[in-house]
Amino acid sequence: MSSSGLGGLNRSPNGIVVGLVQLQNPDVETPAQLAAQTQRIVELVGKARRNNPAMDLVVFPEYALHGLSMRTDDAIMCSLDGPEVAAFKAACIEHRIWGCFSIMERNPGGNPYNSGIVIDSEGAVQLYYRKLHPWVPVEPWEPGDLGVPVCKGPNGAMLSLIICHDGMFPEMAREAAYKGAEIILRTAGYTAPIRHAWRVTNQANAFQNLAQTASVCLCGSDGTFDSMGEGMFCDFDGTVMVDGSHRPDEIITCEMRPDLIREARVHWGVENNIYQLGHRGYVAVKGGARDCPYTFMQDLVRGEYRLPWEQDVRVTDGTSCGFPAPERHYRNGSRG
């Protein structure tokens, strides 16, 4: 079983040192404030590099640029070819480090996307993801349409990114691992009432998929909302390797070991759950049962997902949080 390598200070040849930034929760409502917050993030990329010369990847939480106001003003929305992302690329190049960043992405065809990108140390975007599961009814973002991408990161580690509420769905981490992810990043803006669920899902997402998880929230107050920080690294047996605090702008670090994940995925028998999901009862039948016995999966694929209590669900749009009821439909991955 792996350890944190004293927070990555003792880096092994097979390791990847990750830093999680418990970023001070910002309040951004104007282009000038957006530019200032962009510069603050750039400064913290530099801090991460000075903090640990062995650090391979620095991860910023969801809403790092925009804060928790849920503003959708076009003037403060971002794009992949905009100045904010250009500044992040330049910072990664300057400090020779990979970075994971959050943007609220302009969408001419509908509501903005809540997007995340991973940029390598040469300034190239290696992973681009749009949040599949906005935190309804609070968030107004367009549901993501890029699936769950995976990329090869520092030292050959396979990375994926899920955002905040995504991590509450076991299917999200499973999809990431099924596509090869060894380290699952989870960025968030969660506040204290979600603390327990945050911890148990980060641990479960790791154990159920023989993966390591690296997860971080915004931290501190913007004068209205209090976010909780609490970065955490979990090992593939579900144990917590490093725990964060409630201190804004603290960077917590850990050495992740994708080589040990690969070893477990190949050699574990008992509790190799991601393999056994598709090979049920292989002791009794050759190769195991390869069917899909799960009604909810079959119904979801057919577009017929319906709970037994569906007609009784009361919160089905964002009106309780001040958003107008939508009129557009989403069909087969496209807006209609």
Active site residues: 62, 131, 164
DSSP string, 128-182: EEE-SS--TTT--PPPP-S---EEE-GGG-EEEEEEGGGGGSHHHHHHHHHTT-S
User: Could you give the residue ranges of the DSSP H alpha helices within the chain?
Assistant: 5-8, 31-51, 83-95, 170-178, 195-209, 258-267, 273-276, 295-302
* Token pair for 275: 């393999």
Q: What is the DSSP letter of 187?
A: E
CA 99 to chain centre: 13
* Token pair for 334: 């496209």
CA 37 to chain centre: 20
